[in-house]
């Protein structure tokens, strides 16, 4: 492992300084420009009191400043904390407080939100990316000042492969999201595996489709830089308009794509793919949810030149298994999640970590170099999910408990069976149903709440909620949704809330979600009984 994340762009710039590193809305940063800006930012961070390992929060919308911030923080030896750009202020505050971030990198458009957040983040001692004013209680350095510091020379900071690199976060919609710490070693293990498995080259053009706080961005940015390739950042406007998205793919000659299936389904249904020349596209990777067969078959016809690869793994392990679809013929039944990456060993086992026979369903455990170092600040949860298994000599091996149920198929591939708990995926975002229920229950009039998923017909899931409301003037659904927006990110909002007289219960008193779903989908609420 000759190079770590902190030197990726310097390395690429020394090989080919004029090669395009980042493209966004027609703008370009070459590797030389990206490296110079990142080095300048690293200097500013170090000059404003940053010490190795300090957490640097990045709260930015998509744009060229994102990779500059990532590589600048890493070059300074910091632990990077990317925050979901759509986070409400409260969630950004929770993440910065929990990680003890000392520096915040943001942008002028977020001035009001940053000012409000800083009032509750006493550890943040420096803001970079916007000018200070009376409402901003800490020193600020603008992006213009950072650019004045641009430099060919990276700061002289020793970074070990075992040092923390970044902390990603899950949706964790109420309370604190899970904070997932990866080391340089873990990140580079994935990056090298991905660059090799998909034979990434300097003339490849990847996209950044997902938000940059997710593990998808690890591939989009770091694997691209490893190969000296280009990352095309896809902005929200383009992502909302499939016809524009496919036009960007054609114009930018995108060759490698990575997203949740739902994004590909949108592109396939509404992206006017027949009118585009997408012959440059050679790999399409998808992860996060199952891909409905009918959509998969259609998109293969629309993109005949592309190989498809189903990759599997949560943010805690990045990617741990993968399945390349055969070049001809459509697989029958659900797609397998494939075989373990070269970085990984998988184990389908019972709760005591004893392997179950092949073909039987067990919980999936994974061991490997891409597994997270642990959840930040949560030793109890770490003990639950990073489990030890005797390995001889009095030593243990550590396995990550995925919480997914799986089995080994006859051909050696793994098949995903179900989530062991009620964590679901909504358009690629992890949502804990219990947390949405908690948010509903925090509304004054709501007495009971239950949330479940229904297929949205396009390969993803939608959330439906049922509530029992009290009081004389029950709130309108619209008002409840408006209240929920204050505490939940958009993807965790139920698409509908039904008011019912009571929730069906199982004999043990738990909400009978299956019965509830049946009632609501068939329109048989008890209202009007």
Partner 1 sequence: MATDAHPTPETSEIEGRIVEFLHRELLEPGVTIGRDADLLSGEVIDSIGILRLATFVGEEFRIVIQPADFVVENFRSVAVIAGYVVRALAAHGPGDTRP
Residue 238 engages partner 1 in binding (rule: CB under 8 A): yes
Nearer to partner 1, 236 or 518 (CB): 236
Provide the minimum distance between the beta carbon of 271 and partner 1 in the complex, in angstroms, as a whole number. 6
Residue from 237, 420, 502, 521 in contact with partner 1 (CB under 8 A)? 237
Residue from 491, 511, 516, 519 in contact with partner 1 (CB under 8 A)? 491
Residue 379 CB: number of other CB atoms within 10 A?
9
Provide the minimum distance between the beta carbon of 261 and partner 1 in the complex, in angstroms, as a whole number. 15
Residue 282 CB: number of other CB atoms within 10 A?
17
Residue 241 engages partner 1 in binding (rule: CB under 8 A): yes
Provide the minimum distance between the beta carbon of 302 and partner 1 in the complex, in angstroms, as a whole number. 11
On the 0-12 / 13-18 / 19+ scale of CB atoms within 10 A, 522 is exposed
Three state DSSP letters for 170-206: CCCCCCCCCEEEEEHHHHHHHHHHHHHHCCCCCCCEE
DSSP β-ladder status, 179-183 and 374-375: antiparallel
Provide the minimum distance between the beta carbon of 428 and partner 1 in the complex, in angstroms, as a whole number. 11
Provide the minimum distance between the beta carbon of 504 and partner 1 in the complex, in angstroms, as a whole number. 28
Residue 270 engages partner 1 in binding (rule: CB under 8 A): yes
Provide the minimum distance between the beta carbon of 269 and partner 1 in the complex, in angstroms, as a whole number. 8
The region of 169-177, 179-187, 235-243, 438-446 touching partner 1 under the rule CB under 8 A is 235-243
Nearer to partner 1, 74 or 426 (CB): 426
Q: What SS3 class is residue 85?
A: coil
The region of 4-12, 240-248, 280-288, 289-297 touching partner 1 under the rule CB under 8 A is 240-248
Nearer to partner 1, 197 or 268 (CB): 268
* Residue 366 CA: distances (Å) to CA of 388, 400, 404, 409: 11, 5, 11, 17
Provide the minimum distance between the beta carbon of 490 and partner 1 in the complex, in angstroms, as a whole number. 5
Per 3-state DSSP, the chain is made up of helix, strand and coil in percentages (nearest 5) of: 30, 25, 40
Residue 485 engages partner 1 in binding (rule: CB under 8 A): yes
Question: Directed axis angle between helix 31-47 and helix 65-75, to 10°?
Answer: 50
* Residue 2 CA: distances (Å) to CA of 8, 111, 221: 10, 40, 18
Partners of 308 in beta bridges = 284
Provide the minimum distance between the beta carbon of 48 and partner 1 in the complex, in angstroms, as a whole number. 29
* Residue 108 CA: distances (Å) to CA of 33, 105, 478: 22, 10, 32
Residue from 479, 496, 514, 527 in contact with partner 1 (CB under 8 A)? 479
The region of 7-15, 135-143, 271-279, 466-474 touching partner 1 under the rule CB under 8 A is 271-279
Residue 131 engages partner 1 in binding (rule: CB under 8 A): no
Distance of alpha carbon 440 from alpha carbon 433, whole angstroms: 11
Residue 281 engages partner 1 in binding (rule: CB under 8 A): no
The region of 176-184, 264-272, 380-388, 390-398 touching partner 1 under the rule CB under 8 A is 264-272
Assign residue 481 a region: left if phi > 0, alpha if psi is -120 to 50, beta otherwise? alpha
Residue 271 engages partner 1 in binding (rule: CB under 8 A): yes
Nearer to partner 1, 162 or 275 (CB): 275
Residue 495 engages partner 1 in binding (rule: CB under 8 A): yes
Q: Residue 205 in contact with residue 21, Cβ under 8 Å? A: no
Provide the minimum distance between the beta carbon of 273 and partner 1 in the complex, in angstroms, as a whole number. 8
Residue 445 engages partner 1 in binding (rule: CB under 8 A): no
Q: Which of 208, 211, 240, 165 is nearest to 430 (CA)?
A: 211
Residue 457 engages partner 1 in binding (rule: CB under 8 A): no
The 52-91 contact track toward partner 1, x by CB under 8 A, reads ---------x-----------------------xx-----
Residue 228 CA to its chain's centroid (Å): 23
On the 0-12 / 13-18 / 19+ scale of CB atoms within 10 A, 359 is exposed
Residue from 142, 244, 253, 442 in contact with partner 1 (CB under 8 A)? 244
Residue 483 CA to its chain's centroid (Å): 25
Number of residues that bind partner 1 (CB under 8 A): 26
Provide the minimum distance between the beta carbon of 295 and partner 1 in the complex, in angstroms, as a whole number. 15
Residue 112 engages partner 1 in binding (rule: CB under 8 A): no
Give strand ranges (E) for 62-220.
79-82, 103-105, 126-128, 140-141, 164-169, 179-183, 205-208
First to last CA, the chain: 68
Distance of alpha carbon 157 from alpha carbon 155, whole angstroms: 6
Q: Given the rule CB under 8 A, which residues bind partner 1?
A: 61, 85-86, 236-244, 247, 266, 270-272, 275, 427, 478-479, 482, 485, 490-491, 495
């Amino acid at each position: 492992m000759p190079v770590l994340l902190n030197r990726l762009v310097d390395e690429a710039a020394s090989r080919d300084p004029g090669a395009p590193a980042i493209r966004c809305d027609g703008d370009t940063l070459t590797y030389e420009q990206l490296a110079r800006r990142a080095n300048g930012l690293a200097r500013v961070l170090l000059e404003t009191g940053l010490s190795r390992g300090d957490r640097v929060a990045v709260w930015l919308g998509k744009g060229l400043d994102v990779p500059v911030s990532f590589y600048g923080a890493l070059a300074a030896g910091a632990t990077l904390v990317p925050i979901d750009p759509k986070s409400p202020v409260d969630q950004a505050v929770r993440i910065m407080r929990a990680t003890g971030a000392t520096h915040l990198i943001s942008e002028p458009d977020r001035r009001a939100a940053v000012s409000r957040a800083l009032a509750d983040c006493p550890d943040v001692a420096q803001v970079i990316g916007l000018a200070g004013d009376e409402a901003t209680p800490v020193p600020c350095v603008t992006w213009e000042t950072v650019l004045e510091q641009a430099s060919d020379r990276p700061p002289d900071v020793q970074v070990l492969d075992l040092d923390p690199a970044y902390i990603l976060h899950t949706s964790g919609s109420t309370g604190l999201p899970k904070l997932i710490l990866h080391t340089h070693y873990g990140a580079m293990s994935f990056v090298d595996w991905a660059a090799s498995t998909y034979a990434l080259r300097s003339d490849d053009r990847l996209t950044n489709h997902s938000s940059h706080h997710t593990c998808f961005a690890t591939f989009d940015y770091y694997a691209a830089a490893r190969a000296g390739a280009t990352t095309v950042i896809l902005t929200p406007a383009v992502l909302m308009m499939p016809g524009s998205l496919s036009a960007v793919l054609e114009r930018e000659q995108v060759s490698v794509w990575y997203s949740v299936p739902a994004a590909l389904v949108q592109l396939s249904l509404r992206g006017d793919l027949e009118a585009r020349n997408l012959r440059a596209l050679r790999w399409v990777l998808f992860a996060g949810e199952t891909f409905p067969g009918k959509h998969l078959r259609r998109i293969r016809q629309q993109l005949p030149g592309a190989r498809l690869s189903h990759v599997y793994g949560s943010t805690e392990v990045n990617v741990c298994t993968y399945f390349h679809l055969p070049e001809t013929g459509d697989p029958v039944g659900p797609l397998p999640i494939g075989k373990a990456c070269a970085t990984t060993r998988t184990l389908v086992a019972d709760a005591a970590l004893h392997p179950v026979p092949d073909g039987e369903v067990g919980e999936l455990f994974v061991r490997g170099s891409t597994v997270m170092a642990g959840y930040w600040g949560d030793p109890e949860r770490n003990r639950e999910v990073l489990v030890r298994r005797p390995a001889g000599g009095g030593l243990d091996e550590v396995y990550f408990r995925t919480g997914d149920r799986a089995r080994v198929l006859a051909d050696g591939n793994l098949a995903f069976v179900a989530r062991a708990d009620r964590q679901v995926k909504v358009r690629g975002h992890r949502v804990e149903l219990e947390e949405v229920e908690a948010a509903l229950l925090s509304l004054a009039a709501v007495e009971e709440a239950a949330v479940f998923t229904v297929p949205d017909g396009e390969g993803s899931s939608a959330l439906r909620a049922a509530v029992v409301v009290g009081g004389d003037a029950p709130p309108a659904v619209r008002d409840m949704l408006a209240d929920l927006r204050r505490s939940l990110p958009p993807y965790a909002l139920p698409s509908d809330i039904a008011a019912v007289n009571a929730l069906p219960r199982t004999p043990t008193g738990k909400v009978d979600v299956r019965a509830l779903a049946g009632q609501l989908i068939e329109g048989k609420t008890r209202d009007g009984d």
